[in-house]
């Protein structure tokens, strides 16, 4: 498992995931940890009624509390890391901003953003996929939705990148604190403070943005507290751009490594949805997730005691030969593409329709605009394990 943390394997972790998959579930009683890698096991965990997302229900967190540690140093977590009834209440209020009508209403704005970014690429005569398209597009969209000033993008993107690393199972797999732990803590405190200031500004002067909508949102007479609004915006800011950056860049890389798919998309923009779904399966932006057993559970032949942490390796599960033919092939034409990239059940990704829309528009536009694009060298990767994605991807147009 520790091999997954090695930066040398970031460019292609899939052989390691296959080794883990072939070996079956990994149970580590001394660490209160079970690792699942097959599609069936991961799906069963996500659907199990005893599966929890609240880390405080884990034996590891309770041990930290008993030792005097604070398991929630940033305060209120986002609803992604909570369970019903808190998760249900907070998600209901937040999802009003992601209703289908709202997402559809963003299509013109997203198209204009993509066209402007690609105009810049054409004028420069060079294409750095992450810096020129995959990163600025989702950032601009989530800033527009939240009402975050785009001029502050560099600061919160830097903080978001550090916090994204906090999702990596470094402590879980090694028992050690990562070298940049203090930097992550500082980034988390800064971002929470930044968002808290914006919330107070919107309370006194509401605007047509998500922060103002969350302040006004009400469900059965219940409104969000300031801490809950900050936690929700913090979650959406990180999840709303970090993962979509990876999705767009991963799709471009996969197509340019298989140029017939790039040419086909350039000729037919209707192929974009299949490209998006196959990328989510083949090279998922979220490679693994953690869950907690809120009660004793049985997954396949494995008994998971109450309080144990379960690590679900989506990147392995979505290349499971028991489910997929030619699982290591990028094939947007495969029948009935299915994946776990957005989760399942109550925690299914709130932003999935928006991510799909952004990726569809970006990919169909870039292939049509630059049908003769080709890779220049190999990409470089960020250090992230969970939110694995590229730092650079150079393309000749």
Each residue's pLDDT, cut to its tens digit, for the chain (397 residues) gives 678 888 888 999 999 999 999 999 999 998 999 999 999 999 999 999 999 999 999 998 898 888 887 777 777 788 888 999 889 888 888 887 788 888 899 999 999 999 999 999 999 999 999 999 999 999 899 888 888 888 888 887 888 888 877 777 666 665 666 677 788 888 888 999 999 999 999 999 999 888 998 888 766 567 788 888 999 888 888 877 789 999 999 999 999 999 999 999 999 999 999 999 999 999 999 999 999 999 999 999 999 999 999 999 999 999 999 999 999 999 999 988 999 999 998 889 989 999 999 999 999 999 999 999 999 999 999 989 999 999 999 999 9
Q: Within 30-135, where are the H helices?
A: 39-47, 59-66, 86-94, 100-105, 107-124, 129
Write out the two tokens for 32.
């209160």
Closest Cα partner for 247 from 140, 130, 108, 330?
130
Q: Which helix (H) or strand (E) holds 236?
A: helix 226-257
Let me know: does 30 contact 308? Beta carbons within 8 Å: no
Closest Cα partner for 160 from 265, 218, 245?
245
Give the C-alpha separation, 43 to 310, whole Å: 12
Q: Looking at residue 153, what is its pLDDT?
A: 81
Domain ranges of the chain: 2-396
Give the C-alpha separation, 167 to 5, whole Å: 12
Q: Looking at residue 64, what is its pLDDT?
A: 83
Q: Looking at residue 235, what is its pLDDT?
A: 85
Number of H helices, E strands in the chain: 17, 12
Give the C-alpha separation, 205 to 49, whole Å: 42
Let me know: does 149 contact 143? Beta carbons within 8 Å: yes
Q: Is the dihedral of CA 272, 241, 181, 340 positive or negative?
A: negative
Let me know: does 360 contact 273? Beta carbons within 8 Å: yes
Give the C-alpha separation, 142 to 324, whole Å: 34
Give the C-alpha separation, 154 to 141, whole Å: 15
Q: How many CB atoms lie within 10 A of CB 20?
A: 21
Give the C-alpha separation, 135 to 352, whole Å: 17
Write out the two tokens for 350.
């709130």
Q: Looking at residue 114, what is its pLDDT?
A: 98
Pairing type for strands 390-392 and 289-293 reads: unpaired
Q: Looking at residue 164, what is its pLDDT?
A: 78
Distance of CA 43 to the CA centre of its chain: 18
Q: Looking at residue 170, what is its pLDDT?
A: 60
Q: Looking at the DSSP assignment, which residues form a beta bridge with residue 321?
A: none
Cis peptide before 361 (omega within 30 of 0): no
Query: Phi-psi region for residue 58, left (φ > 0), alpha (ψ -120 to 50) or beta?
Result: beta
Q: Looking at residue 172, what is its pLDDT?
A: 61
Residue range 2-396 in CATH 1.10.630.10: yes
Q: Looking at residue 180, what is its pLDDT?
A: 76
Q: Looking at the DSSP assignment, which residues form a beta bridge with residue 293?
A: 51
Interhelix angle 352-369/226-257, rounded to 10 degrees, is 30
Closest Cα partner for 53 from 351, 289, 377?
289
């Amino acid at each position: 498992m520790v091999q997954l943390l090695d930066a040398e394997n970031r460019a292609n972790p899939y052989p390691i995931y296959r080794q883990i998959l072939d070996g079956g579930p990994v149970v580590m009683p001394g660490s209160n940890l079970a690792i699942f890698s097959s599609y069936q096991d991961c799906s069963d965990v996500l659907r199990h009624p005893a599966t929890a997302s609240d880390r405080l229900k884990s034996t590891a967190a309770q041990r930290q509390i008993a030792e005097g540690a604070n398991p929630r140093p940033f305060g209120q977590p986002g609803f992604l890391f909570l369970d019903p009834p808190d998760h249900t209440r907070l998600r209901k209020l937040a999802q009003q901003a992601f209703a289908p009508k709202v997402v559809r209403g963003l299509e013109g704005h997203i198209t204009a953003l993509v066209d402007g970014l690609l105009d810049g690429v054409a004028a420069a005569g060079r294409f750095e996929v992450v810096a020129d398209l995959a990163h600025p597009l989702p950032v601009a969209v989530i800033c527009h939705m939240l009402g975050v000033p785009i001029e502050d993008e560099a600061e919160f993107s830097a903080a978001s990148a550090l916090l994204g690393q906090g999702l990596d199972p470094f402590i879980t797999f090694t028992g050690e604190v990562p070298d940049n732990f203090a930097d992550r803590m500082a980034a988390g405190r800064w971002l929470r403070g930044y968002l808290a200031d914006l919330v107070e500004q919107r309370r006194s002067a509401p605007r047509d943005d998500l922060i103002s909508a969350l302040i006004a949102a009400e469900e059965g007479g219940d409104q969000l507290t300031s801490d809950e609004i900050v936690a929700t915006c913090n979650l959406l800011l990180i999840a709303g751009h970090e993962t979509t950056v990876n999705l767009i860049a991963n799709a471009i890389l996969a197509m340019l490594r298989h140029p017939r798919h790039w040419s086909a998309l350039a000729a037919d923009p209707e192929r974009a949805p299949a490209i998006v779904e196959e990328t989510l399966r083949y090279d998922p932006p979220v490679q693994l997730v953690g869950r907690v057993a809120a009660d004793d559970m049985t997954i396949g032949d494995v008994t998971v005691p109450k309080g144990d942490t379960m690590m679900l390796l989506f990147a392995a599960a979505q290349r499971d030969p028991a489910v997929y033919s030619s699982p290591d092939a990028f094939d947007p034409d495969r029948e009935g593409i299915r994946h776990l990239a957005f989760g399942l059940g109550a925690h299914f990704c709130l932003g999935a329709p928006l991510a799909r829309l952004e990726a569809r528009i970006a990919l169909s536009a870039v292939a049509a605009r630059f049908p003769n694009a080709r890779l220049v060298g190999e990409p470089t990767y960020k250090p992230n394990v969970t939110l694995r994605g590229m730092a650079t991807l150079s393309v000749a147009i």
